[in-house]
Amino acid sequence: MYMHALPIKHVSIVIPCFNSAATLGETVRRIRDTLANRFELEFILVNDGSADNTWQEILNLQVQSQTVKSIDLMRNFGEHNAAITGLRFVSGDTAIIVDDDLQHPASEILKLLDELAKGYDVVYGRYIDKQHSLWRNIGSSLNDKLATILLNKPKSLYMSSFKAMRRPLVDAVCAYDGPFVYIDGLIFWTTENIGQVDVEHTARSDGRSNYNIRRLVRLHLNLATGFSVIPLRVASLSGVVMAVLGAILAAFFVYEKLTRHDLNIPIGWASTIVCLLVIGGIVLAMLGIIGEYVGRIFLSLNRKPQSVIREVVETE
């Protein structure tokens, strides 16, 4: 793939914030100290329905610096929804999505930018040593395997929340107005010009991860049913396989009945088993998956909000 080097002048740092009052100020300070001398810099801080003093901390950071844009959402919509909301306020030629918990060292942003400058549309940070909990790593591994199957993601590419994006890609991602946001899925829909670079990943300095099992399941559903029809094809294939098995079993029962006169099978038992296997297999394999798609269509048609902004504060 042909690429040409592109200069990076104005960097927008997008930080979805959730219950991060204790770490957000230090996150912003470290990034500013690292990048301010090399790039024009702005911060887009999105409060995703935090229960602590995160919004007040964001406002305090805005008072201290004119480079901060503050966005307050009415409730918690999820990390990807908050991130895409922040991306819509980007004014730089490059956007970096960074976690709010100091797990993405500011110095590693330079690695993303250096790789992006080679001409990529997006560059992912690949963690050398992930500092997540065991169950979070398991969920991340499952998500990676699903993306490989459903999005045709290269196996060698690791999708992380730590990424740098060119402005044209940012604009393309932000064109999506559906309620079920999965930014990586939107990226893979849009471009194949994707890079990655090894980065450090540090342990959380305060609290614990805001991701729980429910959030990870919701993320996997967004990936599976929001950006691929493969689950529907799997459901159809499952129905066909069960129908074939039922037909084979029916033929077996007929053969046994014709060749073994001493076979003591209650009348109606074979037909009942065959019908249950064929019809039940088809219905159960497809109903849940189709229902998920239909439910998402219903919510989309009824304009379930991607996010709702209570307040935007920008320095004039």
pLDDT, tens digit, for every residue of 202-241? 887 665 665 566 666 666 667 666 666 677 777 777 777 7
Q: What are the tokens at 110?
A: 């330079």
Of the candidates 101, 79, 20, 86, which has an alpha carbon nearest to the alpha carbon of residue 53?
Answer: 20
270: exposed, middle or buried (Cβ count in 10 Å: 0-12, 13-18, 19+) = middle
CA–CA separation, 315 and 207 (whole Å): 31
State how beta strands 122-127 and 163-166 pair. Answer: antiparallel
The SS3 assignment for 68 reads strand
Q: Are 299 and 179 in contact (CB under 8 A)?
A: yes
pLDDT, mean of residues 129-155 = 72
| Residue-wise pLDDT tens digits, 58-107 | 999 999 988 999 999 999 999 999 999 999 999 999 999 999 989 999 99
Could you give the residue ranges of the DSSP H alpha helices within the chain? 24-35, 54-64, 79-87, 106-116, 134-150, 167-174, 183-190, 213-226, 230-259, 269-275, 281-301
Q: What are the tokens at 92?
A: 């730089």
By residue count, the chain amounts to 316
Q: What is the pLDDT of residue 242?
A: 74
Q: What is the pLDDT of residue 85?
A: 97
Cα 218 from chain centroid (whole Å): 9
Q: What is the pLDDT of residue 209?
A: 60
Of the candidates 118, 110, 91, 90, which has an alpha carbon nearest to the alpha carbon of residue 2?
Answer: 118
Under the banding of pLDDT at 50, 70 and 90, the label for residue 265 is: low
Write down the pTM of the prediction.
0.78
Under the banding of pLDDT at 50, 70 and 90, the label for residue 152 is: confident
| Residue-wise pLDDT tens digits, 13-62 | 999 999 999 999 999 999 999 999 999 999 999 999 999 999 999 999 99
Q: What is the pLDDT of residue 154?
A: 85
CA–CA separation, 173 and 15 (whole Å): 17
Q: Are 139 and 216 in contact (CB under 8 A)?
A: yes
Q: Which of 52-56, 153-157, 252-256, 276-280 has the highest mean pLDDT?
A: 52-56
Q: Where is pLDDT greater, at 145 or 161?
A: 161
Q: What is the pLDDT of residue 276?
A: 76
Q: What is the pLDDT of residue 246?
A: 75
Sequence letter at residue 279: I
* Average pLDDT for the chain: 84
Under the banding of pLDDT at 50, 70 and 90, the label for residue 136 is: low
Q: Which residue has the tokens 């730590």?
A: 162
- Is the pLDDT at 109 greater than 90? The verdict is yes
Q: What is the pLDDT of residue 240?
A: 75
* Sign of the CA dihedral running 197, 200, 206, 212: positive
C-beta atoms surrounding 84 within 10 Å: 25
130: exposed, middle or buried (Cβ count in 10 Å: 0-12, 13-18, 19+) = middle
Under the banding of pLDDT at 50, 70 and 90, the label for residue 270 is: low
Q: What is the pLDDT of residue 39?
A: 96
Q: What is the DSSP string of 96-115?
A: EE--SSS-S-HHHHHHHHHH
- Is the pLDDT at 264 greater than 70? The verdict is no
Sequence letter at residue 37: N
Of the candidates 262, 275, 132, which has an alpha carbon nearest to the alpha carbon of residue 203?
Answer: 132
Q: Are 191 and 185 in contact (CB under 8 A)?
A: no
Q: Which residue has the tokens 């990390």?
A: 79
Q: What is the pLDDT of residue 203?
A: 80
C-beta atoms surrounding 144 within 10 Å: 15
First-to-last C-alpha distance (Å) of the chain: 42
